[in-house]
Amino acid sequence: MIKTKPVHINKWLLPFSWLYGLVVYIRNKFFDLGILKHEEFDVPVICIGNITVGGTGKTPHTEYLISILQKKYRVGVLSRGYKRKSSGFVLATSQSTSNDLGDESLQIKRKFPQTIVAVDGNRRRGIRRMLALDDAPEIILLDDAFQHRYVKPSYTIILSDFNRPVYEDSLLPAGRLREPASALKNANMIVITKCTDDLQPIDFRIISHDINAFPYQELYFTTFAYKGLYPVFDGSGDKLPLDSLEDKHVLLVTGIASPKMLIKKLSEYTDRIDTISYPDHYSFKNKDIKHITNKFNNIPSDNKIILVTEKDATRLLFREDISDDIKNSLYYLPIEVAFMDKEDNFKEKIYKHVRENSRNRNIYKK
């Protein structure tokens, strides 16, 4: 049986968590009573969200949904564009940068160029603008919008990190919950993400018991798969297999919520790993590029590599202060979602929902 580390709770902050919880309760009650209004749309709107702060894998799961839906439908993705420097509604193009869209939305657009990607802090306005396009999406994926109740999605998927069970957590600021764990009842699906590869049947049963999903909900377990190393800059190198790291010294540079899972994976191939960690969605500055360059140059090896996440790569692409030597050594490691069970069931549930909720959307045309 796998045991996760106990969830750390700042108990001295619990009184503030109770106040926070009261505000969340009142806000949700206003929506339930119709005092605050939500809007529904005549296309399938699938929300991929969570009830915690910190990374639960929303972007890889959004990409997974795109990959299974784009074969049959025109897919749109709408997010707020966290940490972007633009404002209002922005529709992604092939010339967009992370300043325009934020790193996650740019990553999706680069990986799925045929997908209609947009950002807008006002999700209702964003959906209306997307549906008014000549090539309007037939499905909209709302990235990280569970708390944005001004839009009522047709389907909701909540992600929960295996390493920090929501049923052991507390509300902000004592814990990391943005909503009480009871908010899971509002999901059509619950996905336990970042699971370890060695989960046993008893672990699935224990987690399922603790989550205590309702009969109308589906529960799934996913992990991350790593497929290889890709050069950050076009023309600076070839794709490398993961086992090529066995004879390399790695400088791992991350600006994500938690690099622990990534470090554990890399440790399977090499024990020569140096790390530089920045906060999630970090915007690299000139001094950071100099620090990375100096640390890399001081590694006493001729066979070395700088490795970043795919999300971090989008923020490095357009920098002009990276030398050619560093560009040629800079690779990113993309991640893909891998289901631990019932993947076919997951796909069929999504397909069924989309088939049953696809309607006439001409009313949104200008």
Task: Tell me the DSSP string of 120-146.
Answer: -SSHHHHHHHHHTSTT--SEEEEET-T
Topology of domain 35-225+339-364, CATH: Rossmann fold (3.40.50)
Asked if residue 360 has pLDDT above 70, the reply is: no
Q: What are phi and psi of 79, to 5 degrees?
A: -140, 175
Q: What angle do CA 6, 10, 11 make, to 5 degrees?
A: 100
User: 256 falls in which pLDDT band (50, 70, 90)?
Assistant: confident
DSSP 174: T
What residues have CB less than 8 Å from 294, skipping those under 6 apart? none
pLDDT of residue 363: 41
* Distance from C-alpha of 221 to C-alpha of 342, rounded to nearest angstrom: 9
Q: Which pair of structure tokens corresponds to residue 266? A: 């890399």
**Confidence band (pLDDT; 50, 70, 90) for 359?**
low
CA angle 360, 352, 131 (to 5 degrees): 30
What angle in degrees, to the nearest 10, is found between the helix axes of 103-111 and 58-69?
A: 30
- Contacts of residue 165, defined as CB under 8 A and 6 or more positions apart, other chains included, come to 4, 7, 207, 210
Non-local CB neighbours of 357 within 8 Å, separated by 6+ positions:
43, 44, 154, 155
| Closest to 113 (Cα-Cα) out of 131, 93, 99, 139 | 93
Q: How confident is the model at residue 260 (pLDDT cuts 50, 70, 90)?
A: confident
Distance between CA atoms of 70 and 46, rounded to whole angstroms? 14
236-261: average pLDDT = 90
Q: Which CATH class, in words, describes the domain spanning 228-333? A: alpha beta
Q: Is it the case that residue 88 has pLDDT exceeding 60?
A: yes
- Across-strand partners of 59? none
35-225+339-364 and 228-333 in the same fold: yes
Positive or negative torsion for Cα 149, 150, 153, 159: negative
What does the pLDDT look like over 317-357, one tens digit per residue? 989 999 999 999 999 999 999 999 999 999 999 999 999 99
- Residue range 276-284: mean pLDDT, rounded: 91
168-192 pLDDT tens trace: 999 999 999 999 999 999 999 999 9
Asked whether 310 and 342 are in contact (CB, 8 A), the reply is no
Q: What is the pLDDT of residues 210-231, one digit of tens each?
A: 999 999 999 999 999 988 999 9
For 150, the 3-state DSSP assignment is: coil
CB-CB neighbours of 366 under 10 Å: 6
| E strand or H helix at 236 | none
Give the pLDDT score at 364: 42
Q: Which helix (DSSP H) or strand (DSSP E) does residue 79 occupy?
A: strand 75-79
Greater confidence, 99 or 360?
A: 99
Domain ranges in the chain?
35-225+339-364, 228-333
Q: What is the pLDDT of residue 366?
A: 41
| pLDDT score of 197 | 87
What is the greatest pairwise CA distance in the chain?
65
Please list, in sequence order, all residues whose beta carbon lies within 8 angstroms of the beta carbon of residue 268, skipping any fewer than 6 positions away: none
Phi, psi of 187 (to 5 degrees): -95, 145
CA R_g for the chain = 21
**Alpha-carbon gap, residue 337 to 184, rounded angstroms:** 21
